[in-house]
């Protein structure tokens, strides 16, 4: 990651989207980036392919309501120094709506508030966030909304033995790029286990943990992945860099 001129915020009413918008505004001010806040309605997907006037009226009303919601999110950002646009859509699935928007807008960074899967698993991400983390073709920042410290601390989770050397260089360069742009600090986490990484994050008060995206097929086993296990215990933000296989075709988001 060495460019940050456009940020796409994924907003939905089920999440605390204001937190993602706040993080986007911080990043945008540091990097002079544009922000687009996007929301997709799937509740009225049945009307998309219905040519009747009644169905078209339903879609129009749906989009109008979503646009009002997005305008309120945009208004939650203080100051007029940011370039913020909004986009509403109606799609048959959230994955389809997000995929189409990323293809159209080509963001350098996607930001999403991380919401719990259930009340009984307050730290575990929902299936939508898991799908995004598996298949996002651009860097994805997932946040729980915790404010960053005045001197933001970034850390790269690097496995010097398990990572390809070129990928290690990419991770380190990305952390240095972000820390420099945010006038922050950066560090390397060399631990392999969840316990080692969490201990480092807590001891060094890391605000953003930068991790390599999963290799193809690594999410299909019966056991939770490293990212899934970390997200179940970490309170800091996590930035997931896409794997080389995903980032090559920048025009797609979800497989």
> Would you state the pLDDT for residue 185?
95
Top pLDDT among 8 and 52 is at: 8
255 falls within a domain: no
What are the tens digits of pLDDT across the range 236-250? 999 998 865 444 444
1 falls within a domain: no
CB-hemisphere CA count at 13 Å for 18?
Answer: 8
Find the domain containing 13 and state its range: 6-247
What are the tens digits of pLDDT across the range 34-74? 999 998 887 766 666 667 888 778 778 878 888 998 999 88
- Extract the tokens encoding 254: 């979800």
253 falls within a domain: no
Confidence of residue 223 (pLDDT cuts 50, 70, 90): low
195 falls within a domain: yes
Straight-line distance from the first to the last Cα atom of the chain, in angstroms, rounded to the nearest whole number: 21
154 falls within a domain: yes
CATH of the domain at 59: 3.40.50.12370
Print the SS3 string covering the chain: CCCCCEEEEEECCCCCHHHHHHHHHHHHHHHCCEEEEEEEECCCHHHCCCCCHHHHHHHHHHHHHHHHHHHHHHHCCCCCCCCEEEEEEECCCHHHHHHHHHHHHCCCEEEEECCEEECCEEEEECHHHHHHHHHCCCCEEEECCCCCCCCCEEEEECCCCCCCHHHHHHHHHHHHHHHHHCCCEEEEECCCCHHHHHHHHHHCCCCEEEEECCCCCCCCCCCCCHHHHHHCCCCCEEEEECCHHHHCCCCCCCC
Confidence of residue 171 (pLDDT cuts 50, 70, 90): confident
Among candidates 197, 194, 175, 196, which has minimal Cα distance to 186? 175
> Would you state the pLDDT for residue 255?
44
113 falls within a domain: yes
142 falls within a domain: yes
39 falls within a domain: yes
Confidence of residue 205 (pLDDT cuts 50, 70, 90): very high
Mean of the pLDDT values across residues 95-114? 88
What are the tens digits of pLDDT across the range 15-45? 688 889 999 999 999 999 999 999 888 776 6
Mean of the pLDDT values across residues 69-91? 87
Among candidates 38, 142, 44, which has minimal Cα distance to 97? 38
> Would you state the pLDDT for residue 220?
53
Q: How many domains does the chain have?
A: 1
Cβ-proximal residues to 103 (8 Å cutoff; 6+ apart), any chain:
251, 252, 253
Among candidates 122, 131, 24, which has minimal Cα distance to 73? 24
Mean of the pLDDT values across residues 152-156? 94
Mean of the pLDDT values across residues 213-221? 55
């Amino acid at each position: 990651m060495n460019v940050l001129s456009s940020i796409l915020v994924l907003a939905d009413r089920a999440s605390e989207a204001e937190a993602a918008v706040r993080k986007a505004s911080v990043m945008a001010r540091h990097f002079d980036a544009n922000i687009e806040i996007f929301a997709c309605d799937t509740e009225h997907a049945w009307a998309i392919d219905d040519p009747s006037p009644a169905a078209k009226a339903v879609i129009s009303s749906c989009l109008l309501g979503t646009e009002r919601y997005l305008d309120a999110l945009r208004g939650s950002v203080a100051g007029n120094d940011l370039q913020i646009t909004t986009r509403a859509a109606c799609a048959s699935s959230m994955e389809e709506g997000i995929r189409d928007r990323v293809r159209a807008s080509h963001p350098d960074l996607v930001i999403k508030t991380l919401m719990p899967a259930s009340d009984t698993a307050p730290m575990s991400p929902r299936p939508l966030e898991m799908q995004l983390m598996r298949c996002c073709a651009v860097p994805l920042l997932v946040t729980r909304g915790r404010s960053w410290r005045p001197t933001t601390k970034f850390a790269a989770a690097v496995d010097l033995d398990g990572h390809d050397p070129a990928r290690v260089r990419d991770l380190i360069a990305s952390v240095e790029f972000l820390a420099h742009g945010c006038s922050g600090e950066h560090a390397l986490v060399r631990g392999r286990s969840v316990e080692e990484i969490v201990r480092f994050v807590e001891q060094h008060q890391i605000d953003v943990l930068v991790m390599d995206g999963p290799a193809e097929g690594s999410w299909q086993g019966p056991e939770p992945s490293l990212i899934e296990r970390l997200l179940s215990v970490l309170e800091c933000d996590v930035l997931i860099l896409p794997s080389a296989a995903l980032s090559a075709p920048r025009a797609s988001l979800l497989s």
